Chain A
């Protein structure tokens, strides 16, 4: 025993949290069951949908999406990367992970943007939200898995819930930042012409904050992907589960193939969402090319 032990009493923080979790398990099990049913149904449905499409067709579709919002180069890269994944036999696992990431991201964004708006508009809300976000981001990601397994048992649902918690903070922070950094004179212009607070938010602040919010969503997706892999430890299906299996059996080839698939998925999602944030800058994207061609035709016709 250390000499300090007699001076500083042991604070059973962990036990307190455990007591709280136990209390929740006993009293809110109905809620958790509901969440579990909804999340698992949605995720499994999405996974089924993604895997129902033949892999080669899906790869072509994803490549087209990449071209549409960014460039033919990303389309080519996407096709090559995903063909490699397919040939490594990781395609289905990647689709499972994609489903998990998509569901977690959508829910995280739906929560993050209103909270971010609230934090941007109210100093008090900002002061309350900030330390909570710090906590969520710095608490080691694995720790979330313990209570979520207690609540939801193992499977995809604890993976999604802990992924939401882990991926949420940048969405809130970037929304708050985006709104706060809108030029104050522009907001003043809205007020000077008699706009209501809602008109200013929806017509000025949010549209001007879109690039920053999209950067936040990009971060949410990246974090969701990294957490989605960790969620493999609690039995969430997908690439994470393969990585965990690779670790536990020291199976290097499996670990490398699953890990490489994660990297390819991450690159695809990152480039895609980054392009969504600033569509005007992507002159090579198919959408912009079509828009320009249409404008030229309209100009020629006029």
Chain B
């Protein structure tokens, strides 16, 4: 009886690790992606795997409230936000990212380095006496956070920066479910509400910047100084 339980957990850990790896790969794919629509879809796919990780952890750890978090991720980040942003892209008629500050191959190397940093930081949280799911997931989460941060600095289009901010938030979500099996329900709800509203607000802001500047190149926002 006990044996099967442990096996179960190990099996769950493997699934989580596999999907966390996919999430990380998608994040690195985002770093180099230049087509904004594809960028949005990669984000949706990444969020989908995150929802699956949440559901897996909920199943193997008997944490039913994580199912709600998984469902909310599906609704908000896989469906609503991508639809919203794709519409925005259509209306603004911008499809391609201009050259990032650090070029493609080099930014992949940087992302790799940041992943390494993520593993080093996550190591300090790992305790052998506390077996559980998602040791790798935490390292991936911290890497997502750092790579998202890097992408924000590296990109110049306003919309890509927003997507980077959202993927950074994905990293936080992954950290939340792998560290503590999710936050209390009310907090999860609050966070999802905030993410949705933030995506909308930032979308409107991007649209207005586009209308005013005839461009969403944020490197042109340079009037306020000193």
- Are A and B bound to each other? no
